[in-house]
Amino acid sequence: MAAQRVGTLSKPGFHEAVAPTAPAASPLSGALVDGCLGILIFSASLPATRLALTGFDAFFLTAARAAIAGIAAGAALLLLRQRRPARGDLGSLAIVALGVVVGFPLLTALALRHVGAAHAAVFIGLLPLATALSGALRAGERPSWAFWIFSVLGSAVTVAYAAHNTAGFSGLGDGLMLAAILVCGLGYAEGGKLAKRLGGWQVIAWADLLALPVTLPLTLLWMPADPATAPLPAFAGLAYVALFSMLIGFVFWYRALARGGIAAIGQLQLLQPFLGFAFAALLLGERIEPAMLLAAAAVIACVAGARRFA
């Protein structure tokens, strides 16, 4: 009888015998944490790029940051014995490489010759819309109509700011930033889709490595005659954009996109203007205009609505 009672009490239906279990962590909450860490790292990219441009040409900087990231990524893939991507994944990896390894770094470096880092950071307000559009086209995501309304409103505020500030909207720097946003959104969406199969850090690692046969020779070709003459802040900027902007930040970002959805998590990019302003003021001493803060605040309000209906 005692054995029978023990057996009865051990049944899951009796709460006395069931050990308490900790609640499972929400996948969305984990994706939000990863996304915020990625955005924090990316937010210093424009100020760091501007620092690097104090000692290096934009073309050399683009090639060197990608080559350094490619070498580091190759070492990580080798040491951790990661399997090679399938042949069918190579096209997607090429899109990622063209978008975030080459396209965005080159276009932003060229843009920062003409505009300040704080001014360029406002254009990040267009990234959520560009990422969501690319996610719909490349990953088949279908957010609600309310999401698109809020996303378009946020982007419209950003463009309106750029069109009416003192630098004007028709300048070359603004045009280059717009192009950078388009290719970056495509690279983000393609990487988020691919990360579901390969893993977050593996996507950017393979993309960096895939570009290495191009970026390494270009680095050597465009290397300054005497790189040692570049100031120390330029080397610090190069190190940051090579290791953090091109590799470590994407470890968190692509994992977040894969876990939380490209359109939904992509809205976190609207935190970048605020953080970018802070880094620009802290690292470069740039003055933050009130209009920049108003524009960013309006866009953030739109993104809050978009996040609700994603």
**What DSSP assignment string belongs to 58-103?**
HHHHHHHHHHHHHHHHHHHHHHTTPPPPPGGGHHHHHHHIIIIIII
Q: Is the pLDDT of residue 164 over 80?
A: no
Task: Write the Ramachandran bin of 261: left for phi over 0, alpha for psi from -120 to 50, otherwise beta.
Answer: left
Q: What is the pLDDT of residue 180?
A: 92
Residues 180, 219 contacting (CB under 8 angstroms): no
Band the pLDDT of 107: cuts 50, 70, 90: very high
Please report where in the chains the tokens 């190190």 appear, as a residue. 239
Burial class (CB in 10 A: 0-12, 13-18, 19+), 263: buried
Alpha-carbon span 40 to 301, nearest angstrom: 19
Band the pLDDT of 310: cuts 50, 70, 90: low
Q: What is the pLDDT of residue 12?
A: 45
> Nearest Cα to 49, choosing from 180, 227, 236?
236
Residue 127: both structure tokens together = 């990234």
246 secondary structure, DSSP code: I
Of the two residues 71 and 302, the one the predictor is more confident about is 71
Of the two residues 147 and 69, the one the predictor is more confident about is 69
Q: What is the pLDDT of residue 23?
A: 44
Give me the helix-helix angle, 127-138 and 145-164, nearest 10°. 140
148-158 pLDDT, tens digit per residue, is 888 788 777 77
pTM: 0.77
7-61 pLDDT, tens digit per residue, is 444 444 444 444 444 444 456 678 889 999 999 999 888 889 889 999 999 899 9
Question: Element (H or E) spanning 220, and its range?
Answer: helix 200-222
* 288-299 mean pLDDT: 77
Q: What is the dihedral of CA 218, 252, 265, 143, to 10 degrees?
A: 70
Mean pLDDT of the chain: 81
Q: Where are the domains of the chain?
A: 43-309
